Structure 1
């Protein structure tokens, strides 16, 4: 059956009918006009009795304002994540190009796959092909400046970029394809040089960059961080993981928090930020225990402690 259209006021009424406590209906209506009911449902499902099996009633004590505060605290976390993700991405582009040019080739090497270890799977797309696809689609003037009009049918050939320096090429790559370049550059020595310049381990850097790409993509698509189980898990040296768990909080392997610990380590060692986890992330998590639990130990619907969900939050003004 198709879902009927409902006004924002009717959406608030529906939540109220299902047992959600709403102290300020006008405020709830304004909030749903900014954050869609569907997006918000990804959060309030945790307060419903058994939404997966059709029971959309809310548990006793569930409050619209509590869930709204959770959402707003998560948005504050998103902003502080971008504070370090953006400069780290720029830094990685800069340092990779610098060391690749020094170790392998300043100009014309990457289109031919020089310096990259390819997958042993004969069906795998060569590493450089991902980058060439970015360049082929680009309409940037700096790309057109170095792109010769050499085509095979309607497609460019790799020779079209023979004049392009690597430090130009990296500016047109997606962050994900830059991550591919970094991971494939171990045997050439570029990865080692890059890791040394950042004062991090070459063993963990590739997986950390993948996790940064993963987090950046979720932020770019306004996807939920709370109770999200990370697919691209960053590697952490044992001493770094132990220190984070000792100084801050315990966290599960697939948590967003583990990515934040890796981000903090790279940001600290590269001087992108100082004590970012301690001074920017932790105060947000401390202010909202519900957010903190879903960031450090993601759960599925129905798995979170109901006492936490309906309990008083710190600094909630009540």
Structure 2
């Protein structure tokens, strides 16, 4: 039996041919957006017209034909909304990253100015391979860092930076990897500043990394499924997101029952812990962190962006495409007249036990 997959053999198409192809499938106003085809590209735009492709009721798969009434105008509105969402998330993630730099530098610096270079100052069960990878990656960053502060330590000292300076040269990945190497009690201090246990914060590192990568690579966000499921614990500000995600997964299972192949793929995705969260579940984590940092304006900007979802486009549902639950604006998280209530020490310890 020959299992060799076919080689891609679709031809190159001119802009006019690309437009003709889209219009032949039912989106007849595509010719009005020739500049967008040239500036953004057919392949990137295809992610935004995907929701308008017809669904085969037997297999659940999308056909190449568009639904009746689909317009390229809708495609471009979704694209521009995605740009707005990406901009808001970039700003929010930048604030969280800066805060993480400061907090990690402050907590480790209290132990020793060079604690990050001294394994004895880190956790007892330190993974030496992970730590070596962190050091190697960090040193590469230092080597190509041409900021004045980096040159100062290279030229006037032995090159070793105190932790409160070193964190400024670290990537988000470096920060997260170093955080994983710190003592549990140090992680508790940092997690408490974000209003959660260290176990929950550890799960949020994946959220931050995934989202940062998507934003940096200009990936589509509004209709995206994420592999990382955050640990929402039982925080009253976050529990609605957990329930919304559970409903989303029940709907996924119902849709997968259309055919045997679709259900088999669904079961495989569950086993691999993939594609189980819509973007709202990630955004609430980011908003919660911002609120605990006291950055209310940044959290409000995220709320404004969510509220701007173009619900007037036919077939576009913020619940189905982004996982935004009904009455989300009424939730504690988005009510900025109500404070975020920190956990007690007992609750924090209990949450950590569950996370372990």
Q: Distance in 2 between matches of 1:120 and 1:101?
A: 19
1:260 maps to which of 269, 283, 298: 283
Aligned partners of 1:97 and 1:166 also within 8 Å: yes
Relative to structure 1, the CA distance from residue 139 to residue 16 in structure 2 (aligned partners, 3 Å threshold; closer, same or farther) is: same
Provide the residue aligned with 1:15 in structure 2.
22
Provide the residue aligned with 2:321 in structure 1.
294
- State yes or no: 1:273 paired with 2:279: no
- State yes or no: 1:82 paired with 2:78: no
Q: Distance in 2 between matches of 1:230 and 1:250?
A: 15
Aligned length: 282
- Aligned ranges for residues 155-234 of structure 1 at < 5 Å? 161-162=159-160, 164-187=161-184, 189-234=185-230
Provide the residue aligned with 2:138 in structure 1.
131
Q: Report the Cα offset of residue 80 of structure 1.
A: 1.8
Q: Distance in 2 between matches of 1:118 and 1:293?
A: 45
2:121 maps to which of 109, 115, 119: 115
Provide the residue aligned with 1:41 in structure 2.
46
Q: Distance in 2 between matches of 1:235 and 1:54?
A: 33
Q: Report the Cα offset of residue 94 of structure 1.
A: 1.0
Which runs of 5 or more residues in structure 1 are unaligned? 150-158, 298-318
Q: Report the Cα offset of residue 222 of structure 1.
A: 0.2
Structure ranking higher in helix proportion: 2
Q: Report the Cα offset of residue 166 of structure 1.
A: 0.7
Deviation track 1:274-305 (CA, whole Å, cap 9, x = no partner) reads: 553773233123646445522218xxxxxxxx
- State yes or no: 1:145 paired with 2:152: yes
Aligned partners of 1:93 and 1:171 also within 8 Å: yes
Aligned partners of 2:241 and 2:280 also within 8 Å: no
Relative to structure 1, the CA distance from residue 3 to residue 173 in structure 2 (aligned partners, 3 Å threshold; closer, same or farther) is: same
Task: Give RMSD over aligned pairs.
Answer: 3.5
